[in-house]
Amino acid sequence: MPRPTLRPATVDDAASLAGVARATFTETFGTLYSAADLATFLEQHTPEDWAREVADPGYAVQIVEMGHVAVGYIKLGPPKLPFTPPEGAIELRQFYLLQPWQGSGLGPEMMEWALAEARARGHQAIYLSVFTDNYRARRFYAKYGFEDVGPYQFMVGDHADEDVVMRRTL
């Protein structure tokens, strides 16, 4: 069976990235929110927003494809968590795979890319936030040396989730 591939995203991938972003978030967390809160959150994933970020040199995005169909992505970008990160930090903004590809070995490949890319850009630390009850993801990040540094309220529409901010020194 063929295996999905990772490659750098381009502006031409914006619509695919927007679609897989909506699909993966809904698949992973959609049952936790009202339809209105989920719809409000998903409105942030437009092709135009993705094209702007992919074109911005402050971001680095890899798309995961099976053939020419997006099945996941990983995005690094300037920190936007609600605290002042130390000089030289970057944020792992999003890391998603559709469920059929979870546990397939792609996660470690994606994480290794993110760590190598952050180092290549000269960053000394990488931050992320993860849903408090997403124990699988928290274990995965801990396996790569990420440590909890504090709580964070992540908004999905009008609903506040409690997330955990994690950090790894590079």
Parent domain of 30: 5-123
Decide if 50 is inside a domain.
yes
Q: Could you tell me what percent of the chain has a pLDDT over 70?
A: 99
Decide if 165 is inside a domain.
no
Decide if 31 is inside a domain.
yes
Decide if 82 is inside a domain.
yes
Compute the distance between CA of residue 116 and CA of residue 144 in angstroms, rounded to an integer. Answer: 12
pLDDT in tens, 52-107: 999 999 999 999 998 889 999 999 999 988 777 778 899 999 999 988 878 888 99
Sign of CA dihedral 11, 13, 15, 17: negative
pLDDT in tens, 31-44: 888 888 888 888 88
Q: Based on the structure, what is the number of domains in the chain?
A: 1
* 14 band by pLDDT with thresholds 50, 70 and 90: very high
SS3 category, 156: strand
CB count in 10 Å sphere of residue 94? 18
- Name 95's Cβ contacts closer than 8 Å, sequence gap at least 6: 74, 75, 107, 110, 111, 114, 128, 137
Decide if 105 is inside a domain.
yes
Decide if 157 is inside a domain.
no
Average pLDDT, the chain: 91
Residue with tokens 């099976």: 66
Q: Give the CATH number for residue 9.
A: 3.40.630.30
pTM: 0.90
Decide if 111 is inside a domain.
yes
Element (H, E) at 167: strand 159-169
Decide if 167 is inside a domain.
no
